[in-house]
A and B are shown apart, each in its own frame.
Chain A
């Protein structure tokens, strides 16, 4: 059996974090070992970010940390100290995902929906980086997001549609 006497102290150690989550101020005591996605889900009740693999492969827990796409299961809650966290809930309410969500709906680019929040946030991140990605680029960009239900094709179609629509809207405004 392992000797836990030395590690038990650290694993129970807490720390106060102050951050903004979807624009709201959050001030909490968290365990230093707690992951960001667990903090969002368990402490804040933001259950839209999902836990699929807990080691950074499936992408279902993706959130934005100061605008950067991160894995909520590989980021500690304390790493969000002083930062802005955006989740599927906030980005839906703000309308930032609306074009992508509409395209996903039209293309049926989801089935069970478990991967969808992470997929949408990843697509949003691509949209900000590249206004004219090829299908190969889209496929490569979402390669860190696991979907067991679709054949990925509808997702690629939806992202392609959303990016071209958003570009057209940008050109009009």
Chain B
């Protein structure tokens, strides 16, 4: 069960010849500094006169600040200043997290530091700036606050009922409501033979990046400029936001993102304490750093999920699905997070539920409500783990009720591989997916038939194993339809600048950032291939708004697909410009030349004509030897925007094999498989482990992770000792394979891969557990599937 990767790394000499480095498992050169502990994460940066901020945070979930006494804190050793919300508000304007295309979405104005009122436990109320973080934290104890407690809303149904309204000016607790119904839904529903229905609950969980959030803002009053070192996924988005809320011209703001210790969507949002830190730097006219500790990460990093959804599926006796019907309720905390909003996850659930299947009828209703818990927002796979679990859970229920094999039931209903392009009833469009190829590959890979026989034999011995399948679709490479059309100043396009240096090295600057997933490594592979040089000649730089082209950054599985295409086009353009120079030097026809292996060669004979380093030498230092009027252009920039489809959907199929101990309720994850289609695979080794990491993150949400709150809004498990995350011993080995259907909307053909694992894993595991327990008549639908919940389902504990 616990074997080495069972599939060979997908390198072949053939792909090397045809596609250069694309498709090869090349180690990341940038990883070497990380392996020696010589990376630069935010907390590793040292600046002269650096001040440190610690925040006094609300102990209450909802309260009015009656008084706040800061004088004693100001007297403590090392303290530079102490500010309240009003002080900071004078330098940083409030924001409202809404988007124009989410019709009717509303939220309240939010400040960097609370003014008058707090709405969740952990909200920053005052900022202490000191010469060291230790001194700032020590001084927090000397702040005195008096509170008037306000009614706390923590239950989603209470929030929906609206007996107590968190933001009176909004009238109710509803952030966003959406309904959707296809024409002819009722008639189709009435024609069905079988209807299955189930309610699923998803716990709140959070990102737990190994490196907590961090920011270092350095204001220069002489220039009225602000340099922000930031662990972020979207430097240009943050540049725009700092500019508008701190009232500093955008061009005076530089956001630098060095090594980041994991992001997963956690580091793509606007956080009040980070905005406050930038404002404090302006106020104090010196660099200020905020490095969140683990406790404040738990109460302030965005949370996600927390949905309760009832899904119904109607089908014919032969298994053909007629329609899906969905009601989703989700709670997002007291504010819709700026600027991406907290309406997106629920919206995705509506868009995606039922997505792999070819039914024509769909009805959905969504309510997104405010509560007095920490905010939720987009976290890895946004909405997908919910939609996939709802879809695949109810598909298994339907198959069970018809006594059909779940693989067969899926085969009957999955959209056929030759049916594309395809419009799904929720309005989304698929360019080309490969559900059936993925299903076939998966079943063969896992020996589905063999596992079923083994399962039956073990059941005779009282061993309860289960096999769970999950089909999935994933939103990747988003077009401007995701945020831009809604008014958010978040770039949907990305750019790459490529420069040939005199010594024959290639410098690549890209607006997509590196969060550790290997973005820079795949850009190097693409650039080397496009220009015609060996990969050791390529250097890639990302994460500096003063240096790189303008772009969106890293989110929604867009880095390789969008940034990669920009690199490819820039590389091709540079190659062409290099050939212009070579033709001028050699006095040969450009069309007879090509660049290969760091040299200009004759296309016909392959004969070496000119080393690139020689080309560089002449172009930069002896242009006097070139024809009069010839100007070399050895720096080029290209951009790419996906336009044709709103999103470039990917698809895949996962399977989980589990064993449930019916006495203890413990679920052992024996093995996991994933066959997915992200189009062109640029580096199989990187993609495979990223998918594995995504699966393990999905396993975390399904099995272990939940932010537990008391009725009065206190987080009970805000430490890594109490909030369980996946560790290596409990994780299964994971077999990953690919079907490759390149997107035709770009020359590279790459779709996103970063979120697929997280999207499908919880559904596969849920189905495996319920398959194991089916003979006992037990069934689970509330995540995470803790031993306690397993025993409850078995009727062994109350």
* A interface list, Cβ under 8 A from B: 1-2, 4, 11-12, 41-42, 45, 47-58, 60, 87-89, 92, 97, 101, 104-117, 120, 135-136, 138-140, 142-157, 160
Q: Which residues of B contact A136 (CB under 8 A)?
A: 2, 729
**Is B209 a contact of A148 with CB atoms below 8 Å?**
yes
The distance in angstroms between the C-alpha atoms of A42 and B52, with both chains bound, is: 13
Given A146-B210, A153-B692, A112 contacting B260 (CB threshold 8 A): yes
Distance A68 CA – B574 CA, assembled complex (angstroms): 53
**CB <8 Å contact, B731 and A53:** no
Name the contact of A149 in the complex, choosing from B28, B41, B46, B517 (C-beta under 8 A): B517
User: Distance in Å from the Cβ of A162 to the closest Cβ of chain B?
Assistant: 12
Contacts of A150 in B (CB 8 A): 689, 692-693, 696
Give the chain A neighbours of B40 by CB distance below 8 A: 47
Q: Is the CB of A111 within 8 A of B689?
A: yes
Residues on the A chain within 8 Å of B466, using CB: none
CB < 8 Å: which of B3, B32, B36, B262 contacts A148? B262
* Sampled A-B contacts (14; CB under 8 Å): A88-B36, A92-B37, A104-B31, A108-B27, A108-B685, A111-B515, A113-B34, A114-B261, A139-B728, A146-B725, A146-B727, A149-B517, A149-B690, A153-B733
B727 touches A148 (CB 8 A): no
| A50-B725 CB under 8 A given contacts A89-B36, A147-B210, A157-B4 | no
- Would B294 and A48 count as touching, CB distance under 8 A? no
A113 to B39, Cβ gap below 8 A? yes
Q: Which residues of A contact B695 (CB under 8 A)?
A: 151
**With A11-B138, A58-B720, A149-B516 in contact, is A155–B728 under 8 Å at CB?**
yes
Q: With a 10 A CB-CB cut-off, give which of A47, A56, A113, A135 has the most chain B CB atoms.
A: A113
Do A139 and B731 touch (CB < 8 A)?
yes
Cβ-based interface call for B647 (8 A) = no
Nearest residue in A to B692 (C-beta to C-beta)? A151
Interface centre among A107, A142, A160 (most CB of B within 10 A): A107
Also in contact, A112 and B516, with CB within 8 A (given A105-B27, A148-B210) = yes
Known: A149-B517, A151-B695. A113 touches B4 (CB 8 A): no
Q: Do residues B719 and A53 form an inter-chain contact, with CB atoms below 8 A?
A: yes
Contact between A106 and B27, CB atoms less than 8 A apart: yes
The docked-state distance in angstroms from the alpha carbon of A108 to that of B692 is: 12
Q: For B35, give the chain A residue with the smallest CB separation.
A: A101
How many whole Å from A171's CB to the nearest CB in chain B? Answer: 21
Contacts A55-B294, A113-B31, A157-B5 given; does A108 touch B261 at CB 8 Å: no
Nearest chain-A residue to B3 (Cβ)? A135
List the interface of chain B (C-beta within 8 A of A): 2-5, 25, 27-28, 31-32, 34-41, 43-44, 46, 77, 132, 138, 141-142, 144, 207-212, 259-262, 264, 293-294, 515-518, 685-686, 689-697, 719-721, 725-729, 731, 733-734, 757
**CA gap between A87 and B38 in the complex, in Å:** 12
Which residues of chain A are near B728, meaning CB under 8 Å?
138-140, 142-143, 145, 147, 152, 155-156
Whole-angstrom distance between the alpha carbons of A12 and B134 in the complex?
Answer: 11
B734 with A153: CB separation less than 8 A = yes
B38 — which chain A residues lie within 8 A by C-beta?
48, 89, 92
CB distance from A22 to the nearest CB of B (A): 11
In the bound assembly, the distance between CA atoms of A111 and B27 in angstroms comes to 11
- Chain B residues with CB under 8 A of A152: 692, 696, 726-728, 731
Q: How far is the CA of A1 from the CA of B142 in the complex (A)?
A: 8
CB neighbours of A12 from chain B (8 A): 77
B727 and A114: CB pair below 8 A?
Answer: no
- Contact status of A151 and B696, CB under 8 A, knowing A11-B138, A142-B728: yes
Give Cα distance in the complex from A105 to B33, angstroms: 11
Indicate if the CB atoms of B692 and A154 lie closer than 8 Å.
Answer: yes
B264: nearest residue on chain A (CB-CB)? A148
- A101: nearest chain-B partner, CB-CB: B35
Partner of A50, one of B3, B31, B261: B261
Q: Is the CB of A55 within 8 A of B721?
A: yes
Q: Answer whether A112 and B259 are a contact pair too, CB < 8 Å, given A101-B36, A104-B35, A146-B725.
A: yes
Pick from B35, B262, B696, B733 the residue with the most CB of A within 10 Å: B35
When C-beta atoms are compared, the residue in chain B nearest to A73 turns out to be: B294
Residue from B293, B686, B727 within 8 A of A108 (CB atoms): B686
- A117 and B734: CB pair below 8 A? no
Interface contacts beyond A148-B210, A149-B262: sample of 19 additional A-B pairs, CB < 8 Å, sorted by A:
A1-B141, A41-B43, A47-B44, A49-B37, A52-B720, A57-B721, A92-B36, A101-B35, A105-B28, A105-B31, A108-B27, A108-B28, A111-B515, A116-B35, A144-B727, A147-B210, A148-B697, A151-B692, A153-B734
Known: A53-B719, A114-B262. A2 touches B210 (CB 8 A): no
In whole angstroms, what is the CA distance A57 to B262 when docked?
Answer: 17
Would A112 and B28 count as touching, CB distance under 8 A? Answer: no
Choose among B141, B207, B693 the residue with the greatest number of A CB atoms under 10 Å from its CB: B693
For B209, the closest partner residue in chain A by CB is A148
Residues of chain B within 8 A (CB-CB) of A56 are 721
Q: How far is the CA of A136 from the CA of B35 in the complex (A)?
A: 24
5 tightest Cβ-Cβ pairs between the two chains A and B = A48-B37, A151-B692, A113-B34, A112-B516, A114-B261
Residues of B within 8 A of A106 (CB): 27
Docked complex Cα distance between A144 and B264 (Å): 22
In the bound complex, do residue B144 and residue A1 qualify as a contact, i.e. CB atoms below 8 Å apart?
Answer: yes
On whether A146 and B720 interact (CB within 8 A), knowing A47-B43, A51-B43, the answer reads yes
